[in-house]
Amino acid sequence: MTVVVGLSSLLLLPVFRSVWIPVKAAFLNLLSIGAAFGVITLVFQPGWFGVQPGPVEAFIPVMVFATVFGLSMDYEVFLVSRIHEEWERARDQALAVREGLAATGRVIRAAAAIMIVVFAAFVLSRMLQQFGLGLATAILLDAVVIRCLVVPAALQLLGRHAWWLPAPLARHLPRVTPEPPRAHSKRP
């Protein structure tokens, strides 16, 4: 888990050319995963909602972590890339956060709604109940609360400091963009 979080943070560092964006991303991804673990434990150990009481299956934390961390990071890069584009263009943090969320919020919520329905369907299977509940809970919290409320609020509070990168580190980091350059169309 530490290796995955550390490597993903190191990968985000040159993409966003910021120290705080990877730190925030790692912390908030772990927050949604931790919440999912809490819900799984709360429901399945005492046997709430008519489920058989018992321990959480050993493979559940690893599978939930891997799946949710990947999806959370995808939502993070999608949202923050758009905010970063606007920041680079206007250098106005409030505008960048507002425009970035407006451009990506609906897509993130729609994609999350699809994933929640799919993962919630796993609850109907005896073998996948814990997995389905954990994934559906984590995606719901991650997409609705974390990506659409907490990330914009954190970036707004950080202001221009959200994009801080020490000069010595900036000189050594490659310039990486989260998406390929756009092709310019030539008109005949």
pLDDT digits (tens, 9 = 90+) for 3-16: 999 999 999 999 99
pLDDT exceeds cutoff 80 at 160: yes
Distance (Å, whole) CA 8 – CA 22: 8
Its pTM surpasses 0.75: yes
Question: Residue 186: what pLDDT?
Answer: 52
CA geometry: angle 86, 17, 72, nearest 5 deg:
75
Q: Left, alpha or beta for 49 (phi > 0: left; psi -120 to 50: alpha)?
A: left
- 58 phi and psi angles, rounded to 5 deg: -60, -35
Measured from the Cβ of residue 105, the count of other Cβ atoms closer than 10 Å reads 17
Q: Is residue 69 pLDDT above 70, yes or no?
A: yes
- Distance of alpha carbon 17 from alpha carbon 163, whole angstroms: 7
Q: Give mean pLDDT, residues 51-66.
A: 93
Q: Taking residues 84-88, report their average pLDDT.
A: 93
Q: Is the pLDDT of residue 181 over 60?
A: no
Structural domain spans, the chain: 12-47+55-163
Can you say whether the dihedral through the CA atoms of 82, 85, 86, 92 is positive or negative? positive
